[in-house]
Structure 1
């Protein structure tokens, strides 16, 4: 890194070697062209212009940044950005007692821990919720960080508590240069399990709203198996809280299956249908 006047240049070894090699080659070729022309002043001026152009292009590889010193007054502020998008309601965090809770509940509990109180001894700690401009159905990490950098005067650090599922807006890496020039480190606590907890889930079920007399009703379903092993369970169809049909289901490891179950109503009338899947040993989410 090199600081010159109000400018800062940063580079790695590969960039420096390439820049010096190209610059040296440019000097060699320009001098050779000038000598071949008989040392004409017009050619010398043209080669100097060419060298300057190459130098300016190479300078862009060194990440030039203008440095501005700001006198910050008041207590430094640490901003905790809490993701409140829909994906944070996923139940896949196991607490110290072995019970399962949602990502957002775990994150909120973490913000009431001792580490936050220790930071508050010499800094102002602010918690800000974020999701996206379109609502909680999406997550925009870049927007949350950008607004924090712009709207916080004496920012010391930023801490993300998120599941990391950014699916809206530009990449958060686009703000890396701004964070670096501002001297603001960004930390993250990724909330949630890296893979689904062991569980069988009835993901979807569909039944017609009416049927003709003496006609069977077919209910289509979709079941997922988040276990690493094959699981066997029983699917039950209930009509008005009574079991009217059931079938065994065999679910391959970490896969989904789709199928259907049929039932012939005994007569005319209104029936409230319910499809249930028997629990198997080892499920993290009972029911």
Structure 2
């Protein structure tokens, strides 16, 4: 499982509002994680926790409260991998830290500024069936320079290019993965429209049109789509009511929400 995204976390300015939004839009369940120092909500598919959300701590300067999703990549040794990432040009955002009874993590920004996390869990993490509603179906890096970004992640995690598609003025779209994911589990491309390089996570829904209605009805915005992508899936990209970017992937006219 090392070298793959295993957890997703939303830091936001309104945890209760964000929870309502994503429960409506994605269909997640929610339960309190039972943290003693702060409130942390687990977002679930059935009984399996697949993501979490929390409110910015009170001591966070308001200028730094920028709601965003963070993806955690599983590694065998957080400290060693964090040091390796820094040698490759990454910057440390949060030094390696233990979460009691959960695992050890660190947060870094890649050489172009996209933020990601390293994680070593205590024991196995139950995983929901891929592409079932509420799982994360795709991981996408909006980069300033996709070629150099790929070189960084290839060196750090061993990710390999599975396919490259020509996007015209946006350059090439590199689908990446490993031997265990022959169709890939994410992509990278140049995004000149993005103010800051970032990772975007695609949460699976059944019917994309029904999901668009839920996004708008719950106070979010759809910035792009619905658009069909190779393989027959449909996507949208949007922003939640607190300002965090997210994306959805699903079928069209699936006859279900």
Q: Normalising to structure 2: TM-score of the pair? A: 0.21
Q: Which has the higher contact order (CA 8 A, sep 6+)?
A: 2
Q: Normalising to structure 1: TM-score of the pair? A: 0.19
Q: Which structure has the highest helix share of the two?
A: 1
